[in-house]
Structure 1
Amino acid sequence: MNLLITGASRGLGYEMAAAALERGHSVIAGTRSLDVKSSKLSLLEDKYGPRLHIVPLDVTDEQGIASLASILNKEGTKLGAIVNNAGILTARSTPIEELDMQQVAKTFEVNLYGPMRVLKHFLPLMTETDAAIINISSEAGSISNAYPGDYPYAISKSALNMFTAQLRSLLKDQDIQVLSVHPGWMKTDMGGEDAPTSAGESAAGILDLIERKVVPKTKFNFVDYSGNEMPI
């Protein structure tokens, strides 16, 4: 399978790339800039050679996304999975009275509009069998468990879950699995060192979902990395 992963230079995105390559898949690893290509990705490139293709992919740059999709299409690239992993967490614990709406807009540009841009241009390349679209969401996006805080992040992830539902409806007659996935509270730059779950553990679970080793039973296709249904 050929996987496109956004935000692949670190954290969950990097672990997803590493685990997919180890399982024999090929990976197109999207990073915001090749100038800051992570040394860890370079090590993967040295180990796996042409099965890892590191590409510039800024999810806020639609022109760049369209250009990359066009190049890959001309090269005959076929995708089996798209993992919309790139995301940001801003205005953490900021009260609504002090919220900077520019931070809200920035968060939506990455967390919601980013996946929409990626799917807009890369969906035509998803021609492998048993394909999958994975939108990395969060338990913070659960409306039924809403809490007063993390406004930009939580609302953007809730909206992302809606986009997942729309994609699922759009693709219901095609063999493309569409999931919003809560990856767990992970030890990453975003999650911090106190998190109980490693990014590698979450990546392995998400790959099991992509490979359909685990087939979740859920009405809204919002699950955790083990395939358990999340409250919408």
Structure 2
Amino acid sequence: MNILITGANRGLGLALAKEALNRGHVVWAAMRGEPASGSELSGLAASRPQRLRVIRLDVTDEASVAAAASRLKEQGAALDVLINNAAILLGRSSTLQELDIAEFERTMDVNLYGPIRMAKHFLPLLRGSGSATIMNISSESGSFSRAYGGDYSYALSKAALNFFNAQLRQLLTDQGIRVFAVHPGWLRTDMGGQAAPADADDNAPALIDLAEGRTSFNDTEILIDHLGHSMSV
């Protein structure tokens, strides 16, 4: 399969890229710049040049996303899986009274508008007839049943992403494109912190299983897809 992953230079995105490569898939690793010299992603790109292709794009810049999609189209590329993983978490320790609206807007730009831009411009590159998947990396914090007083910008951006995911599913199911919103767990990443109970490398296989069609949302607890099956919204 051909898999495009945003935010693939670190954390869960990098873990997903590694897992997909280990299974023989072609990975388009999307990030804002070039991989840092000596980074794990640059090492993967050097060792597997035929199957790991770094693509530069900024999910907050529509012109950048459109240009990246155009480059792939000109190359005759077709995608089987689009994983919208890039996200930020700002103002974690802020109370409601301290909420920085500029940080809120920045969070929405990355976590919600970013996946919308990606779907808008990369949808024409996705294969249909049941062989393509859009996977939006979301969070249980974006569900009504798991709502809590805190992480306002992050939680609300993920709640909105869950709704957009439901809209995409309604739009694309008849075209043979599967659409999932998934909660990957609390992970030890730059975002999740070292206190998190799970490692991204440990949880990535379940997500690639889903992308490959090995599992459905009824088979694994990490899914938020069809939120009513796991938590009410």
- Per the normalisation by structure 1, the TM-score is 0.93
Q: 1:225 to 1:208 in 2, by over 3 A?
A: farther
Q: Which residue of 2 aligns with 1:126?
A: 126
Q: 1:35 to 1:184 in 2, by over 3 A?
A: closer
Q: Which residue of 2 aligns with 1:62?
A: 62
CA deviation after TM superposition for structure 1 residue 144, in Å: 2.0
Q: Which residue of 2 aligns with 1:136?
A: 137
**Could you tell which deviates more after superposition, 174-183 or 79-88?**
174-183
Q: Are the counterparts in 2 of residues 9 and 37 from structure 1 also a CA contact under 8 Å?
A: no
Q: Are the counterparts in 1 of residues 181 and 223 from structure 2 also a CA contact under 8 Å?
A: no
Q: Are the counterparts in 2 of residues 205 and 226 from structure 1 also a CA contact under 8 Å?
A: no
Q: Are the counterparts in 1 of residues 36 and 42 from structure 2 also a CA contact under 8 Å?
A: no
Q: Are the counterparts in 2 of residues 206 and 225 from structure 1 also a CA contact under 8 Å?
A: no
Q: Are the counterparts in 1 of residues 28 and 53 from structure 2 also a CA contact under 8 Å?
A: yes
Q: Which residue of 2 aligns with 1:27?
A: 27
SS of the residue corresponding to residue 189 of structure 1 reads: coil
The list of structure 1 runs, each at least 4 consecutive aligned residues, that deviate by more than 3 angstroms after superposition, is: 35-38, 225-230
Pairing 1:181–2:179 present: no
How many residues matched?
A: 229
Q: Are the counterparts in 2 of residues 205 and 225 from structure 1 also a CA contact under 8 Å?
A: no
**Could you tell which deviates more after superposition, 75-84 or 44-53?**
44-53
| 1:8-63, Cα deviation, whole Å (9 max, x unpaired) | 00000001001001101000000111164662111111222211110112100110
Q: Are the counterparts in 2 of residues 209 and 215 from structure 1 also a CA contact under 8 Å?
A: yes
Structure 1: gaps (5+ residues): none
Q: 1:63 to 1:120 in 2, by over 3 A?
A: same
Pairing 1:72–2:72 present: yes
Q: Which residue of 1 aligns with 2:191?
A: 190
Q: Which residue of 1 aligns with 2:166?
A: 165
Pairing 1:201–2:194 present: no
d(CA) in 1 for partners of 2:134, 2:54: 20
Structure 2: gaps (5+ residues): none
SS of the residue corresponding to residue 217 of structure 1 reads: coil
Q: Are the counterparts in 1 of residues 87 and 111 from structure 2 also a CA contact under 8 Å?
A: yes
SS of the residue corresponding to residue 204 of structure 1 reads: helix
- Per the normalisation by structure 2, the TM-score is 0.93
SS of the residue corresponding to residue 172 of structure 1 reads: helix
d(CA) in 1 for partners of 2:38, 2:133: 26
d(CA) in 1 for partners of 2:213, 2:32: 29
Alignment of 1:90-169 (within 5 A): 90-127=90-127, 130-169=131-170
